[in-house]
């Protein structure tokens, strides 16, 4: 294992009711990098993300084998899942807005960990909304329901809520699937800035998005990690597997 890695995955296999979804995946995610994962539907990308912070606990029939080490600790040995998920934030494909105000959406996690002073909560909410490039649009209506925001704003609110936990690792699963191209580019700019503060695993079906954002990219196919390479090398003709070349050149997907 790479001693520098924030996240190390070894021999990860996932089944749903006995049906294999992912087989024997080995990879490392380094501090302060964006690690892209590309591949067609049913390649195992989302299943991989689910395993990283023990979301399998909520998926009936999902069986996870192998080792996932986060900051040197096996996530399978963690008993306090809330504590684990404080360090590994998740942003889903569709915005998951809580039936709360914009302010309370972001303040929820800090309150759960014991922050009570309004001044401290105010600072956290502002900081997270600024980091998610949403503050200027909502600062005058923080008491409004988050569900009344546009789809793109709700997705950025979801990112702000994830950031309110001060995660070391942020998982994004097709974050741009429900937002317009302009908002997508704004969120991409946010992710580039966040790279200096944390690590990001980015699952995307947009190969050019991976090329724009990721430091390294993995190609998943049929439940296997086919290859991993520096993104520019992978896209610049350095792919070593024909299936990777075919996918990048649009021959299937």
Please state the rounded mean pLDDT for residues 133-146. Answer: 95
For each of the domains in the chain, give its residue range(s) and CATH number, in order of start: 7-248 (3.40.50.300)
Mean pLDDT of the chain: 92
Model's pTM, two decimal places? 0.92
Does residue 225 register a pLDDT over 70?
Answer: yes
pLDDT at 97: 66
Euclidean distance between CA atoms 106 and 60, whole angstroms: 29
pLDDT at 1: 62
Residue 140 pLDDT grade (very low, low, confident, very high; cuts 50, 70, 90): very high
**CA distances, 103 to each of 120, 158, 191, 230 (Å):** 13, 12, 22, 39
Give the DSSP letter string of 11-76: EEEEEETTEEEEEEEEEEE-TT-EEEEE--TTSSHHHHHHHHTTGGGGSTTEEEEEEEEETTEEGG
């Amino acid at each position: 294992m790479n001693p520098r890695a924030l996240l190390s995955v070894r021999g990860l296999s996932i089944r749903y009711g006995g049906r294999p979804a992912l087989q024997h995946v080995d990879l490392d995610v380094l501090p302060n990098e964006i690690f892209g994962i590309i591949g067609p539907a049913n390649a195992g990308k989302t299943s991989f993300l689910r395993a990283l912070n023990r979301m399998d606990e909520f998926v009936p029939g999902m069986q996870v084998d192998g080792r996932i080490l986060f900051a040197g600790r096996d996530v399978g040995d963690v008993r306090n899942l809330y504590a684990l998920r404080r360090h590994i934030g998740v942003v889903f494909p569709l915005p998951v807005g809580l039936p709360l105000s914009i302010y309370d959406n972001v303040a929820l996690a800090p309150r759960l960990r014991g922050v009570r002073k309004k001044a401290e909560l105010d600072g956290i909410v502002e900081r997270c909304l600024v980091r998610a490039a949403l503050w200027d649009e909502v600062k005058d209506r923080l008491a409004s329901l988050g569900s009344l925001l546009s789809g793109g704003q709700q997705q950025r609110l979801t990112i702000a809520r994830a950031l309110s936990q001060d995660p070391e690792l942020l998982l994004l699963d097709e974050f741009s699937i429900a937002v317009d191209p302009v908002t997508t580019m704004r969120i991409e700019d946010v992710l580039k800035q966040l790279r200096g503060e944390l690590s990001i695993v980015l699952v995307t079906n947009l190969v050019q998005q991976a090329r724009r954002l990721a430091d390294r990219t993995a190609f998943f196919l049929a439940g296997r990690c086919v290859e991993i390479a520096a993104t520019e090398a992978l896209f610049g003709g350095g792919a070593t597997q024909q299936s990777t070349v075919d996918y990048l050149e649009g021959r299937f997907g």
